[in-house]
A and B are shown apart, each in its own frame.
Chain A
Amino acid sequence: MKPGHGFRALLAGMALATLSAGANAATEIRVACYSDGNECEATQALLPKFEKDHPDIKVVIDKQAYKAILESLPVQLAAGQGPDIARTTDFGIISQYFLDLRPLLKDAAYWDANYGPTLDWLRADPSDKGIYGLPTQITVSAPFVNKTLFEQAKVEMPGPKASWEDWAKATRAVAKATNVPFAMAWDRSGHRFSGPAISAGAKYFAADGTPAVVDDAFKAMAKSFVGWNQDGTMPKEVWGGQGGGGYRDAFEEFANGQIVLYLSGSWNIARMEKQIGTAFDWVAVPNPCGPAACSGMPGGAEFVAFKTSKHPKEVAEFLDFMASEPIYAEWMATTSNIPANAALQKKGIQYKLSPAGTAAMNVFVQQGALLSPVAYRLQGYRYKQVIFNPIADRLGQAVAGQITVDQALDRISADVKDQLATVAKK
């Protein structure tokens, strides 16, 4: 063998290796994900199963803050730089970028049969039959209560038909008896406020279907709510402590035993289990009643696919995998979420929860059946954040004492009108 032959063979080998590596390189799809509890981690844990059956596809989960998804995703998508899939709750403003998965799915009829109602949340109108994403859960808002504090205070917990006023009175008595700083807290979110407002009779929409947020019932609930913040029933820092329409939860205050009742939702069950554990007994209770209903708000995040993706086929394969019954069941069990899958709703999920978590999950499932039609309509509204953000922003200003409740209500109406007018400008 001549000396040059070895070198040539080495070069040929390297070229071959490079070519074959190129041929075997997996298609990468990126998922922008936020976690309420452990949703991104649970998805990540399922990936080895998917990648075993699809060695040519690599799924990368990019975990981000919820706020980052809300604020950055629309800009990324508009700039053509978005991920292939994102987990989000804000569908309206990014709906123009949705990828219709229907022609790409293995069995679209399975999706229609099992995820039908929640698929509508992503559709433009009733004539739209596209499948744009997979619901990662169904959520229901309702209060969590520190049961230990009620027992220590020897105060009886209000019953299932109690009003928000009854709960305010009872939790104030508990807070006073147990030296806890605050009786109640609601997450700083227009979504969370809307459950009590709808129970009070707020309609949110005019007869012609256009948003008409502020009516007498909404006004009454806003006045009660700001009043509870002013009289110390609620901690002002949750709603009044920051500006803008930004979200802030009161979970830490509740987990640290600083609050007797915390209005949040089913997505927090896993977090409750993890962070509170056995520090005190906590329970979920039915939504307090108003003259119109005993309603919370439905909700849910979805994995939505985008048409800017260079790999739509692989995106559909991944979502098909996540939507399949055994995988979805495992996913829901790990994340302690209410499934959006109709078959699994009937069969039930074997949650990996403590007795307290299981009891709370049962309460939330029952609450799902009691939600007002107004709540579903509001949640299904494409520009619901146009309504929710000014509620948090302006009521936050009223809580901080910067403007009066009446001024806040006027501003909510004006802000909603102004933003919808901006959308209408073409």
Chain B
Amino acid sequence: MSDAVAGRSGALARIGASLIGLVFNLAERPMALAQRVLGAPRLPWVFLTPNLVVFGIFTFLPIAIDVYYSLTGGAQLLPADRPFVGAQNFRELFECESYLDPTSCKRDLFWFGIYNTAEFVVLQVGLMVVFSLITALVLNRKIIGRSFFRAVFFYPVLLSPVVVALIWKWILQRQGLLNAALDGAGLSTVNWLLDAHWAFGWTVFVSIWAHMGFYTLILLAGLQAIPRDVYEAAEMDSASPWRVFRRITLPLLAPNLAVVVVLALIRAVQIFDEVYVLTGGGPGSATTFMVQYVFQTAFSQQVRQYGLAAAASLLLASVLFGLTLLQLRSMRSKDR
């Protein structure tokens, strides 16, 4: 019986091998032809072309269209119907009496968006890195329920940004959970999403809450990659915990920290979905960030100013491009 099974398996394996051989044989002739025509050094392009075509259609073409739109005016959607205006959209975005006072700018909401985004990036990234590091350090210790807490901190990452925003809106609104708790405790309530400073602070907090788990995971992986014997040597030298952290943990974790900082920076500059649902950019435009400005200018007005939105999005893209280069450099230094 087992001989019969083994025989059948062997036959199947032989058929499989012949099929694979057939495929390779079929591919051999065109490949040989390609090699003869293109030469061996150019042959990799044959394999890269399908990917490059997809990348070109879905990445480079939209960028090219965006550049074209940024140089055109009017409210028409189709490129052929849009008049060429040169750099007028960029000039309009930068038309200001004082760059320090957004209300003095022709496109005041663009500048509110820039200032809000800059403030958000500094606060959110700084706090995100600190909290992620502390959490990773704690979760790296042998504490009771370590796996449970790791799951707890990672869980918000799995939630959709809209769900995150709706949960927190429910907590923070005037008659929300937080005010109910404060009221129950006999404390005065606060209109969290109506005061510009509180609303901004909560957008930073909610964003950190939602994404911290991901960065904690990266740092945790870095911490676990640090060899134990380095710590044992420090222990034998009676080094204080602070000294161990400063002299061993931090330097050896630096490449991971660099990755976390750059990824968090890119994500913070792109902030939109959570905040749009949580505050709608309000109160006023206190939490209107760059991406929301682009969205509103292009899609929320009766007259859609696609050219202006494209110009603003290109400026945003140039910032993101710089940050991506930074990320690549930090990845290379990590590899080294």
Interface residues of A (CB under 8 A from B): 71-72, 74-75, 78-79, 90, 92-93, 235-237, 240-246, 248, 383, 385-386, 389, 396-403, 407, 411, 414, 419-420, 422-423, 425-426
Interface presence of B281 (CB below 8 A): yes
Alpha-carbon distance between A79 and B75 when the two chains are bound, in angstroms? 14
What are the residues of chain B within 8 A of A411 when measuring CB–CB?
108
> Which of B194, B285, B299 lies in contact with A243, CB distance below 8 A?
B285
Closest beta carbon of chain B to A322's beta carbon, Å: 27
Asked if A245 contacts B300 (CB within 8 A), the reply is: yes
Partner of A242 from B75, B108, B282, B301 at Cβ < 8 Å:
B282
| Contact between A386 and B302, CB atoms less than 8 A apart | yes
Tell me, in angstroms, the Cα distance from A248 to B90 when the chains sit together: 32
Q: Does B304 count as interface, using CB distance less than 8 angstroms?
A: yes
Known contacts A237-B191, A237-B194; A402/B300 CB under 8 A: no
CA A243 to CA B296, docked complex, whole Å: 10
Contact A400 B284 (CB under 8 A): yes
CB-defined contacts of B286 to chain A, threshold 8 Å: 243, 400, 402
The complex places the Cα of A92 from the Cα of B83 at a distance, in Å, of: 21
Task: Give the residue among B77, B280, B292 with the most A Cβ atoms within 10 A.
Answer: B280
Name the CB-closest residue of A to B107.
A418
> Are A246 and B300 CB-contacts (below 8 A) given A236-B194, A402-B286?
yes
Q: From known contacts A237-B194, A243-B287, A246-B280, infer whether A425 and B302 are also in contact, taking CB-CB under 8 Å.
A: no
**Cβ–Cβ contact A386 & B299, under 8 A:** no
The reply to whether A422 and B300 form a contact with Cβ atoms under 8 Å apart is no
Residues of chain B at interface, number, CB under 8 A: 35
Residue of B nearest to A388 (CB): B302
Q: Which residues of A contact B302 (CB under 8 A)?
A: 90, 92-93, 383, 385-386, 389, 419
Of A244, A420, A423, most B-chain CB atoms within 10 Å: A244
Task: Give the distance to chain A from B106, nearest Cβ to Cβ, in Å.
Answer: 8
Contact of B282 among A93, A240, A389, A403 (CB under 8 A): A240
Q: Does chain A have a CB within 8 A of B313?
A: no
Show 23 A/B contacts (Cβ-Cβ < 8 Å), sorted by A.
A78-B78, A236-B191, A237-B193, A237-B194, A240-B283, A242-B280, A243-B281, A243-B284, A244-B300, A245-B296, A245-B300, A389-B301, A389-B302, A397-B284, A400-B283, A400-B286, A401-B284, A419-B301, A422-B75, A422-B303, A423-B74, A423-B75, A425-B75
Q: How far is the CB of B87 from chain A (nearest CB, A)?
A: 15
Instruction: Specify which chain A residues have a CB less than 8 angstroms from the CB of B135 in the assembled complex.
Output: none
Q: Which residues of B contact A237 (CB under 8 A)?
A: 174, 191, 193-194, 283
Interface residues of B (CB under 8 A from A): 73-78, 83, 85, 103, 106, 108, 174, 191, 193-194, 196, 279-288, 292, 296, 299-305
A408: nearest chain-B partner, CB-CB: B284
Q: Which residues of A contact B303 (CB under 8 A)?
A: 93, 383, 386, 419-420, 422-423
Verify B194–A240 contact, CB threshold 8 A. yes
Complex: how many Å from CA A397 to CA B74?
A: 27
Contact A402 B196 (CB under 8 A): yes
Complex contacts, B296 vs chain A, CB 8 Å: 243-245
Residues of chain B lying within 8 A (CB to CB) of residue A386:
301-303
Q: Which residues of A contact B174 (CB under 8 A)?
A: 235, 237
Known contacts A237-B174, A422-B75; A243 and B288 CB within 8 A of each other: yes
Partner of B281, one of A79, A244, A398, A403: A244
Q: Is the CB of A71 within 8 A of B300?
A: yes
Nearest-neighbor residue (CB-CB) of A415 within chain B: B301
Taken together as a complex, chains A and B put the C-alpha atoms of A336 and B100 apart, in Å, by: 53
Choose among A90, A399, A402, A403 the residue with the greatest number of B CB atoms under 10 Å from its CB. A402
Residues of A within 8 A of B301 (CB): 245, 385-386, 389, 419
Cα(A401)–Cα(B195), bound, Å: 9
Chain B residues near A240 (CB, 8 Å)?
194, 282-284
- Bound CA span A79–B296, Å: 19
The contact of B83 among A236, A245, A407, A426, by CB within 8 Å, is A426
Who on chain B is nearest to A240 by CB? B283
A231 to B: closest C-beta gap in Å: 15
Which residues of chain B are near A414, meaning CB under 8 Å?
A: 106
CB contacts (< 8 Å) of A235 on chain B: these are 174
Which residues of chain A are near B196, meaning CB under 8 Å? 400-402
**Interface contact A243-B77, CB-CB below 8 Å:** no
User: Chain B residues near A79 (CB, 8 Å)?
Assistant: 77
Return chain B residues, CB-CB under 8 Å to A244: 280-281, 285, 288, 292, 296, 300
Closest chain A residue to B283, Cβ basis: A400
What is the CB-to-nearest-CB distance from B189 to chain A, in angstroms, rounded to a whole number? Answer: 11
Q: Which residues of A contact B74 (CB under 8 A)?
A: 422-423, 425-426
Residues of B within 8 A of A407 (CB): 103
In chain B, what residue has the closest Cβ to A67? B300
Give chain B residues whose Cβ lies under 8 Å from the Cβ of A93. 75, 302-304
Query: Which of the residues B106, B108, B194 comes within 8 Å of A241, measured between beta carbons?
Result: B194
> Nearest B residue to A258 by beta-carbon distance?
B175
Q: How far is the CA of A74 from the CA of B194 in the complex (A)?
A: 32
Nearest 4 CB-CB pairs, A to B? A243-B281, A242-B280, A400-B284, A402-B284
The CA of A248 and the CA of B194, in the complex, are separated in Å by 15
Among candidates A241, A242, A422, residue contacting B305 with C-beta atoms closer than 8 Å: A422
Q: Are B300 and A242 in contact (CB under 8 A)?
A: no
Q: Which residues of B contact A78 (CB under 8 A)?
A: 76-78
Residues of A contacting B73 in the complex (Cβ-Cβ under 8 angstroms): 422, 425
4 new A-B contacts, CB < 8 A, other than A243-B296, A402-B284, are A75-B77, A244-B292, A402-B283, A422-B73
Q: Chain A residues near B85 (CB, 8 Å)?
A: 425
Contacts of B284 in A (CB 8 A): 240, 243, 396-403
Interfacial chain B residues near A426, Cβ < 8 Å: 74, 83
Cβ-closest chain B residue relative to A397? B284
A396–B196 Cα distance when bound, in Å, is 13
Residues from chain B with a CB closer than 8 A to the CB of A419 are 301-303, 305
